[in-house]
Chains A and B, each alone.
Chain A
């Protein structure tokens, strides 16, 4: 019953309700559309706020405490494509390039899902390691590179070298605004420490939930407009988009527990592993693997896995973390 209650709390949070409103707006073809500068402004605020808070917490916790779970997070992200790729290839019977592209998206992470999870843990009063946004920063790129290598290796019969595609993807995924802002704000938070937090806290902490709700309204319309593509991707990807987050989420929670995180931190690592990137990964994949079909990876990540995690995946990770920690 506890899990039902935590699902109910999540579904009735302003952030998730605004997301639902966004989906509704898209379904009824409302003229609601955020102007591009507002969308970009909100993403900058959210990434900087989350990076800065994480950096301050990182400074407080010290490198000795953070390096092990952060390394584990990075390795987990890089390994996820290694098991999702064969599933996509052999069970889903997808071409190598599409399997590699989708695997890259699921190994990489969604910052918005992570931010929603933090918001949820705050709302139910579950403490968590506040430096967890460092995990978000290190998990974004490795999986994208692994997915590209997998796609290129099996497509090598046509003689295309792996190197140039990897270089473009690396450049794309490291210079993209999300990694740049997140890593930059983490570093600034780390250097500024708690004294810096006192100065900018009122701006980055108090309005955070409202900004997230507004942003999820926009993301609801973006996801909602792609729901009609569900018919085109077929039942395999539908199942994949729901089951893979559950498996990866469980792996993340388990790994968090074994690398010294508490219930909250393990939940967040689970949410990161469960999430699929729909901003950074598509940008890198579109340039490195332009032959891959964007409808497949975008629909799976944005129209299936993102709404699933936002509503059920996050409470699932928390329930699993609580269960695992109660066993020890």
Chain B
């Protein structure tokens, strides 16, 4: 078995960006996403994720390579100036490719 390679895009953002980010995922053609609350420290200092409204989210989606490129371009152009967030992509090997 030689599973095909796709892109895993990971977005770590403030909770308030959730709606706009998931809307964008659908718009660029992602068929699904997974989301979980996370905390950490970054270039802009400490982000105390003490109450749900101020928490950080990690959103992950597995998409074809072209979709990943569009997604990261849209994020960099429209989202990075407005929200506290980072995003990156990595190659992953996928089974059940029809899900993505």
Contact = CB atoms under 8 A, between A and B. Distances in A.
B52 A39 contact: yes
B82 A33 contact: no
A60 interface: no
Contacts of A222: 48, 50-51
Contact of A279 (B50, B53, B55, B82): B53
B42 interface: no
Residue of B17, B51, B81 most packed against chain A (CB within 10 A): B51
A40 interface: yes
Interface string B56-98: 0000000000000000000000000111000000000000000
B20 interface: yes
Contacts, number: 35
A33 B48 CA distance: 11
Given A36-B37, A225-B48, A283 B53 contact: yes
Contacts of B48: 222, 225-226
A36 B16 CA distance: 17
A40 B19 contact: no
Interface in A220-261: 221-222, 225-226
Highest count of chain A CB atoms <10 Å: which of B14, B81, B82, B83: B82
A286 B16 contact: yes
What size tier do the contact residues of chain B reach?
A: 10 to 19
A161 interface: no
Nearest to B52: A36
Interface range on chain A (Cβ under 8 Å from partner): 10 to 19
B52 A40 contact: yes
Nearest to B14: A286
Nearest to B50: A222
Nearest to A168: B19
A127 interface: no
A163 B53 CA distance: 25
A226 B49 CA distance: 12
B16 A291 contact: no
B84 to A, nearest CB: 8
Contacts of B55: 36
A152 to B, nearest CB: 14
21 contacts: A33-B50, A36-B51, A36-B52, A36-B55, A39-B51, A40-B52, A168-B19, A218-B51, A221-B50, A222-B48, A222-B50, A279-B53, A282-B16, A283-B16, A283-B53, A286-B14, A286-B16, A287-B16, A290-B16, A290-B82, A290-B83
Given A33-B50, A168-B19, 20 more contacts: A36-B37, A36-B51, A36-B52, A39-B52, A218-B51, A221-B50, A222-B48, A225-B50, A226-B48, A279-B53, A282-B53, A283-B16, A286-B14, A286-B16, A286-B17, A287-B16, A290-B16, A290-B17, A291-B81, A291-B82
